[in-house]
Each structure stands twice: as structure tokens, then as C-alpha cells.
Amino acid sequence: MDTRRTPSVTRARATPRRRASLPGWAYAALAALFLLATAISAYLVYATVRDIVASMAAPATPRSVVGGGSGSAAPTAGPHTPQPTAGSASPAISFLPWKGTDRVTVLFMGIDQRGGETDTAYRTDSMMLLTVDPVARTAGMLSIPRDLYVTIPGFADRDKITTANFKGDAYHLPGGGAQLAMDTVEANLGIRVDYYIRINFTAFETFIDQINGIDVNNPEAIADPEYPDCCFGYDPFYLAAGPQHLDGRTALKFARTRHVTGDDFGRAVRQQMVVLAVRDKLTSTDMLPMLISRAPQILSTLSGSYTTNLSLDQIVSLALLAKDIPRDKIASAVIDQDYIASEYTTADNQQVLILNIEKFRELRDKIFYTPEPPNLVVPNAAELLAGEGATVEVLNGSAQAGIAAAAADYLRGKGINVVSVGNADRNDYGSTVIYDFKSRPYTTRWLADTFHVSSSSILSGNDPNSPADVRVIIGADFVLPSN
């Protein structure tokens, strides 16, 4: 049991009501990225052209601009490890395309923060992953339900995924809530997360209004008489089915309402509609002049409303990459009932969702993984494994009786320190999974090569209840090697 005390930043709401944890709209944080990056890019185009005209000589290499002026040659854009930045403009922004070739995945989080509040820890009521493959020129979006019941690294008890950001900030953990949220996604979904953008919702309406609204095709009429207002009352929301032009206030309601078919799952679909509608608006031919003229107001609106570990250079570069990806090359998915194994109410009266990892893995691999080349044999594998000294647990997640014991005997014969053998939480794992709890890369890689497990089925994370550094859960596809 987690013995940590609940920090004093936990907020008490007035009268409990339906939808006390409000801002599911915040998957539209992705829209803020497109908006921020496009606004900056537009302003840089304007500033660069102005400087070129003024100097009558274009530089041989791309330039940085500082407040609209010229600077020194910009560094090559691409993945690196920047320092986290708050929502304020950097003094120098490079106008360069993304140069990296590895897949880039960003976690977007909408935090439950209202204007004027001064708390220091918030739940991420909404989470979305965006992934971009710079080589294949494809992208994908995945919406994560807030009620997903997960293991949060460093905490003994499972909890909703929405609490990871809160706990990281409340307990002042290294990297704060954003880092813990990324670690939680990686540990439970098996998706590497490179960057994050965390945004509150006070600026959302202004974003949409700054680009003169968005156009969506509402799939069904919405009648929500209990849509919440700002002050724990009601602000009824009604919207007809069919094509609709939404201003900022209406777009926020459209993305947040849960009073329609599908509840949270349906809301996630509408939030992705908002994201794509913003993208379509920003990439339309008549937007550039308007964005140039409004860039200062847009950047001012963003100030203080988001945090990220992406530099502005990288945001602009990623946006330049993203805008060239065709709409039909952007996959979108929601972790909905098709990927949920069960729903139940916990002892403390939380309604939670349990992920069906086998079904989800197929979806995950389709969106987030690029086919990998054949594994290479490491000549000094025995030396590397001995250096790690990893302990291994083998659990049977299949219907093959005795297979875990047989696999354990095989591994011991190869010099692997197997410390625990038993049954997994269920016996319907379709494929074998390897969990790396203590960062033992050579051991996990060797196990994957030996048992023919794909890299996408190697999950990292932390399980304080595990007796071993590495856990192998045997699935239906497992075949014991003959040698």
C-alpha cells in the first residue's frame, strides 16, 4: 500500500456533481501545438523576408531571428534533450525543417486548471499521443481514457492514469508530473515517449477565435442540459447534427460534452475532430497572412498556459514536418471498449478501466512502430549478461501447462538467474511479453532474441512488488528453443 501522505495541494470542490473532473476537451492541446508552431513559423517567414529585403542579400544558411531581427546561424533541428520550458517565447527561434530520422512521439496533456487558480498539482483529465515518422511521412494520434487503471512507477497501488501528473508534481519527483506521466504511459502502454506538452484550458477559446473558428461535421445532435459552467452550475449546450462552424466557446463545449452516445469514448473522437479541424484551418491557403498579423496576440495568449520539454526550435521544425503529411496518412484511434478487458468499481468507489493488452498491442504496433530489421547476434552476449547480473521471473500467461517451469529450466541452463516461476494474472496472452523493471537492456534483448519476441513487446517500467529485475510472461506464441 502506498504510505505517502496526500499533499495539501489536493483541492476540495464545492458540491459534487456529474463531471466534477471537467476538461476532457484538452486532447485539443495538439491543436495548440499546430497553432503555436504555425503562428511562429508565419511570423518567421515575415521577419526573414523583411530582413532579406532590408539587407538586399540572403544568407547562405538559414538564420535565427530575435524579436524579428537577424541572428547567428541556427543549429540543426532534430531530437535532443532540451531543458523544460514554460510558455514564454524563446529569444531565438530557428526556421529549419526537422532533421531527425527516428520516430518522434509527443504526449499532450490537458490539466484540470481553471483561470485564477494557484494550486501546484493537477490531474491530467485528458491525454493524447501524437507520433510522427519523418522518413515514411506518416503520423498517428491515440487518445487515452482518463479512467485507465494503471501502475504508476514508484507507487505501490494502481491508480487512474490521470493521477500520474498530479503525483509527480505534488511529491516534487524528478521531472515533476510531466515526467511521471510519460513514464506511466511508457510502462503501461509500451510506447516510447520523447516529449510532452502540457497545457491548461484557459487559452483554448481564444486560440479558436484567433483563427476565426473551425469547421466540423457533427455526427449526431447534441443535447446536454447539464453542461457545467465555470462556477459549479449549468450552461446547457445544444448543437445540431451536420456541418457546423464553431467559435472558441462552442468548440470548447463540443470537445468537452459527455452527454452523447459513447460518453468518454465518443468525446475522445470529437476531440480528435477538433484537432484535425484546427490542422485543416491552419494549412488552408488563406491563413498565412492572417497568422502573420496575429502572431504577437497568439503568442501572448500562449504565455504561461503551457509547459514542454520541446524547444521552440523543435516545435517549429516538427510543425513544418507535420504540415506536409497528407490527411490520409494521419491515423487516429481511441482506446475504447474494443481494447478494454473489464470495467469495475474499486474499493474506494472509483470507476476504472482495465486495458486488454493483447488487443491493444495490435493497435499500438500499427500506429507507433516501424518494422524492424532482423536481430543481430551479439558476439559477447555472455559477458554482457554476466555484467548485468539480472534476476528473472517467468510467468505462464498461456494455456500450455508446465511451460513456465520448462522455460525457467532452459534459462537456468544458459546461466540466467531465474528467481521466480508461476502463473500470470490470466492465461490468454496471445504473445510473449517481457517487462524490464530495472533497466537490464542486454538481458531483455537476449531474452527477446532467444524467444523471438518483438521489440514492441518489451515494456519498461517499475513494479515494486516484482521479485525480479525482468519478468517474462509466456504467451500462446511461445516456442521453447531446442538448443
SS3 content of the chain, % helix, strand, coil (to 5): 35, 25, 40
- Of the candidate CATH numbers 1.10.10, 2.60.60, 3.10.20, 3.30.70, the domain formed by 381-474 belongs to 3.30.70
Q: Using one digit for the tens of pLDDT, what is the confidence trace for 272-295?
A: 788 778 877 876 656 655 665 665
Of 435, 369, 383, the C-alpha closest to 444 is: 435
Looking at per-residue pLDDT, the higher value among 115 and 125 belongs to 125
Q: Rounded distance, CA 221 to CA 242, Å?
A: 8
CB 167 within 8 A of CB 174: no
Q: Which three cell numbers stand for residue 402?
A: 508446465
- Of the candidate CATH numbers 3.20.20.60, 3.55.50.30, 3.40.630.190, 3.30.720.210, the domain formed by 24-368 belongs to 3.40.630.190
Residue 132 Cα distances to 129, 251, 335, angstroms:
10, 26, 19
Task: Identify the H or E element spanning 365.
Answer: helix 357-368
Helix 248-256 to helix 263-282 angle, to the nearest 10 degrees?
Answer: 150
Looking at per-residue pLDDT, the higher value among 137 and 129 belongs to 129
Extents of the domains making up the chain: 24-368, 381-474
CB 105 within 8 A of CB 193: yes
Q: Which residue has the cell 506538452?
A: 197
**Is it the case that residue 253 has pLDDT exceeding 80?**
yes
CB 305 within 8 A of CB 87: yes
Residue 458 pairs in a beta bridge with 434
Mean pLDDT of all residues in 346-354: 92
Q: Rounded distance, CA 405 to CA 187, Å?
A: 26
Q: Using one digit for the tens of pLDDT, what is the confidence trace for 418-432?
A: 999 999 988 888 889
Q: Rounded distance, CA 342 to CA 324, Å?
A: 39
Q: Which residues of 370-384 are buried (b: 16+ CB within 10 A; e: fewer)?
A: eeeeeeeeeeebeee
Q: Using one digit for the tens of pLDDT, what is the confidence trace for 184-210?
A: 999 899 898 999 988 776 667 777 887
Q: Lowest-confidence range among 118-122, 317-321, 374-378? A: 374-378
**Mean pLDDT: which of 32-41, 155-164, 438-447 is highest?**
155-164
Predicted TM-score (pTM) of the model is 0.59
Looking at per-residue pLDDT, the higher value among 17 and 471 belongs to 471
Q: What is the pLDDT of residue 11?
A: 35
Of 172, 186, 170, the C-alpha closest to 107 is: 186
- 260 phi, psi to nearest 5 deg: -140, 175
Q: Rounded distance, CA 346 to CA 323, Å?
A: 43
